[in-house]
Amino acid sequence: MTKKYFIMIGLFAAYIISFIWSSVYAHKNYYSFHDVLPSYGFVSEEQRDALKDFFRRASLMGVHESDTFFTKKCTEQELAQELVDLIENMQVICGLRRDSKERWELKPLDWMQQQEEAVIVDLKDMVFIDALTPSLKTVDVICILGATKGRMDERMDYAASLLAEGLIAAKIILLTGERYVTDKVDGSAEVLRTIAEEYGIEDWHDLTEAHLMDYLFKRSRLSLYNLEMYLINTPAGDLPRPTTQTTMLDLIQWLKEHSDVRSIIFVSNQPYVNYQKAIIASILKEQDVYITFEVVGSAAARVSPHALVEGFGSYMWAATPLVLLDLGITVTDPSLINRLKDLYPKNGLLNKVVPVQSQCGIA
């Protein structure tokens, strides 16, 4: 064999080794939690510092461990593991609602009350307290998201203020459903009885959020703009009440019947604007619906520290599947897939995040 032959064999072997390296190792991405913060919407140093402070106050990690958690590099699968661990811990630390409990039924945890002022500063810096305004100047639809009576009133008033400041819109949607009212959060029994009478309902307990929303709209500043109004009344179905997800699915059906609508401003209030933005983005992506949208809302007013923390925790929970999808991470570990399914039992977006689940023996 000639020297030239051995050189060719050597070059070929080097090529094979290089190919294997590039296939197996070079394409393996390494992340730190700090790297993925923009995917969660934390882009400024002020936001990131506030997030670190919040984690320390909430004992999500030790005083010094926080910096390590934010900066240490890990593989895609290790990052997915870190995110799942974090969200599971936040469900407890942030007092997130579970099962059929409503937000107003939850009790604040001791750590929130002991550090109330500092926690409020953290959440303000992370943009979960101040009002969020739209960047769109003209929009096809303003959509008011359903809530308790007081919050719906605030949302309509905020939408009216946006129109007064120059926002141009053609239609308005009241997105609501079959949640039965309660005198714990929707007004006194006397007030609810009066509203029920207007709709010919004998027992005010049969009054739903949809009735309240219609009633409030007719008496709001928003009604004075004479926009074309649609009320989408989602049935509870087999759930205790409609959710943002089920009402959004009804809205998507409405959009199919109104193909001229290409832009929507959803109106909520803080501290739930970011949470509802994540939920809405997830459902639209899951259903392959592409429209221009923003979620805006008035500042948090008369809101307890627990509600602020719960709003932040809910956002982190809702945004994580989107973050995994944004990073292009496919979760392959069967036990981790099961934990994700426990965390997001009704989130169809998981089928895009864990497309290999059927191959892992998970139905």
User: What's the pLDDT at 174?
Assistant: 98
Q: Where are the domains of the chain?
A: 32-127+318-360, 138-299
Homologous superfamily of the 138-299 domain (CATH): HUPs (3.40.50.620)
Is 110 strand, coil or helix?
Answer: helix
Q: What is the band of 4 on the pLDDT scale with cuts at 50, 70, 90?
A: low
Q: What is the band of 355 on the pLDDT scale with cuts at 50, 70, 90?
A: low
Whether 33 contacts 82, CB under 8 Å: yes
pLDDT at 28 exceeding the cut of 80 = no
User: What's the pLDDT at 347?
Assistant: 78
- 113, two tokens: 């009350």
Is 296 strand, coil or helix?
Answer: strand
Mean pLDDT across 294-299: 97
DSSP string, 13-50: HHHHHHHHHIIIIIT--EE-HHHHGGGGT--SHHHHHH
The rounded mean pLDDT for the chain is: 85
User: What's the pLDDT at 236?
Assistant: 86
